[in-house]
Structure 1
């Protein structure tokens, strides 16, 4: 993501906007930090502060000397020529409920910085405390480099740290659960409802962009159910989810941190950004341009429960292969697996799926993302076009674990 990044991003679909519109200068990428340790960040900041103080001191001295040189006569000894400068009331008033300040105070103790090392390199991201004894939610791509025996270190809000191990990962939704060792008394985050969000609603993002821990940014929900596809595996399965889009500044290292509402409840996991390529910079041109994406918490918590229980995460499926129709016209059904949910509902190859319940389907990514927002066994209404005629069918979704 940055010109010093160690971990590679997930491959993206070149020139592909979430709804299929051509945009060759933009790409969606998962977020990861270039491995900058927070202690180094503090040393750098301290050095910059010291330099600023020196420059400021010199400027002040020179300014005073210049002022005295322009005086006709020195001021009489003991005289008071300096004007009285009014000062503001410096009392630290309690933050109003629902303000960004109050949200930050509530959420920061539940956000951690995660540093990883493995055979493939090193990097850092963020995480959300789920339990007092150190269960932590983050992105799969944050801990990926440590999946084959690497090291994970968690840095907590109070300055302490602990090693952690991976409890479970889910590549399809880019989520992971890790367990910090020998910790207690942590502050779990409050889990909210992403299904209650509205476009335009204020939100706050917390994390460690570029290794700068405990960073708070704010914005609004720019869009909901935005299909985001950040990776494609060799077997054709994709890392796709129906994202919360926000203009809160999100950068590499924010991955795995929370997106919260103005009550301080977690509504999403910050995971990816849309970037505009800069000429001559390649991926080094990546950064916040007001298009960040978070995985909705409603879609994540059932998977978290499965991982904590030691189970393999399962996902809802229709049992079909799909392709894109004409621009924005829907997802075209390819192969229908025998005995699948789609087969039972009477879907055929060539049908164009245009809606799932009330969610409009514009292309194959939108269909995959929407179906993954459900759970196996959920009943949905599929609207599709066959031979120019719109039809609908009720489908009970299968599980990819069966």
Structure 2
């Protein structure tokens, strides 16, 4: 098994190592609509055909990540990129039948006349009797005045009002099908951050269209993509947008309330809320064409995330972006698609911001690399299988057979944990590695290299 701690190549199946057996992570991403334009006004049935990613996002152009040998381990389950189905909203068409319309009309008129006659008689009797009672129903009461209250500070309502103008629905059409995802406005002149798996298919003669919160639409072109981090920057031909406010993810606390916004199953502007369920969760997220995958050092949340949410923001209660929604855990298998089960994953904004800046400026991104290939073993930790000549590990004195159990103060349980831990750093950062080997534990210092993303 090989792994080039960020920077190595190879296919990675997509399932969080910490999840229960039998499930798979799917990207929370593109909602498939292959063969059926997502906006057609015609009846349709419910259903349809997402770490490493899922996004439910061929009639359907669903990327399938097959189980295969991973550069970091021997076996793993597959993760489906997030393509999903059309919204489970059924429209009805056709006018009601006009059977016996004339007879029905006559019956209505007769009933009306009877009511009038009965009303007159009743009124006369009431007056002659000098009494009677009246009742008022809820239907007779006037509508209340419009609410003048404003959204409470720190409420989900206030967060939604602030963030919605900065969230975009992305629709992708290509020869392989179509899909939908979400994006975050980075600048007033149209730069947008999203997931790589949302726009990957557009590189094959596809077309991307952005729909904004004010209902304006614009064509979109890809500026830069990075499959290793599952991020992409695109540019819409439009101005006057509201950029999102980016926060920070390093000081988030488990249990902190968060809000997710995006276009699940094509339902743009959908707002859900929850908490940060866990941090530093190694999750394999969406690859490119099924042969690329990445291990994310993800934020876990129970805010509902579904196919189509991919690329949308996870925000704190100040309305600042703390993560980019990218994957969900689906307990199904194969091509079976599922919705939220309360296990969603987001790329921390601290990592996403650095990558997005590089993509915007140069079209590609670099990643910190330890320069090793690793596997899992019978003990907790990441076994070094091979050391890349001239890499950070070799310079630090690491050898094949060493077991990495910590990166700084972070415990490493398996090979994906090592990759995720290194991913939190930038090229040039110095880290302290705890190594278990012959003679007991020891620590070494390593200066991480920078490898160009694929």
Same fold judged by TM-score > 0.5?
A: yes
Q: Deviations over 1:231-269 (max 9, x none)?
A: 578998641110000000000000000000000000110
- 5 Å matches for 1:81-96? 81-83=134-136, 85=138, 90-96=146-152
- 5 Å matches for 1:1-400? 13=13, 17-19=16-18, 23-30=20-27, 31-35=29-33, 39-40=39-40, 47=91, 81-83=134-136, 85=138, 90-181=146-237, 183-230=238-285, 238-277=293-332, 283-326=335-378, 329-387=380-438, 389-400=440-451
User: Quick one: distance in 1 between partners of 2:156 and 2:41?
Assistant: 24
Paired residue total: 366
User: Quick one: distance in 1 between partners of 2:37 and 2:406?
Assistant: 46
132-141 or 112-121: bigger deviation: 112-121
358-367 or 227-236: bigger deviation: 227-236
CA gap 1:348/1:41 in 2 versus in 1, 3 angstroms: farther
TM-score normalised per structure 1:
0.83
Please state how far the C-alpha of 1:283 moved relative to its aligned partner.
Answer: 3.3
Mark the runs of 5 or more structure 2 residues left unpaired by the alignment.
Answer: 1-10, 45-88, 96-107, 109-114, 116-120
CA gap 1:276/1:92 in 2 versus in 1, 3 angstroms: farther
**Rg comparison, structure with higher value:** 2
1:4 — aligned with what?
Answer: none
User: Quick one: distance in 2 between partners of 1:196 and 1:43?
Assistant: 47
242-251 or 382-391: bigger deviation: 382-391
User: Quick one: distance in 2 between partners of 1:197 and 1:173?
Assistant: 20
CA contact (8 A) 2:223 2:363 kept: no
Task: Give the number of the structure with larger relative contact order, counting CA–CA contacts within 8 Å between residues 6 or more apart.
Answer: 2
CA contact (8 A) 1:117 1:151 kept: yes
CA gap 1:111/1:84 in 2 versus in 1, 3 angstroms: same
CA contact (8 A) 1:203 1:248 kept: yes
CA gap 1:246/1:77 in 2 versus in 1, 3 angstroms: farther
User: Quick one: distance in 2 between partners of 1:77 and 1:138?
Assistant: 72
TM-score normalised per structure 2:
0.74
Structure with a larger share of its residues in strand: 1
Please state how far the C-alpha of 1:111 moved relative to its aligned partner.
Answer: 0.2
User: Quick one: distance in 1 between partners of 2:353 and 2:172?
Assistant: 24
CA gap 1:227/1:376 in 2 versus in 1, 3 angstroms: same
CA contact (8 A) 2:383 2:404 kept: yes
CA contact (8 A) 2:247 2:322 kept: yes
CA contact (8 A) 1:12 1:29 kept: no
CA contact (8 A) 2:314 2:346 kept: yes
CA gap 1:378/1:245 in 2 versus in 1, 3 angstroms: same
CA gap 1:149/1:277 in 2 versus in 1, 3 angstroms: same
Mark the runs of 5 or more structure 1 residues left unpaired by the alignment.
Answer: 1-10, 52-60, 62-67
CA gap 1:43/1:242 in 2 versus in 1, 3 angstroms: same
1:8 — aligned with what?
Answer: none
CA gap 1:34/1:81 in 2 versus in 1, 3 angstroms: farther
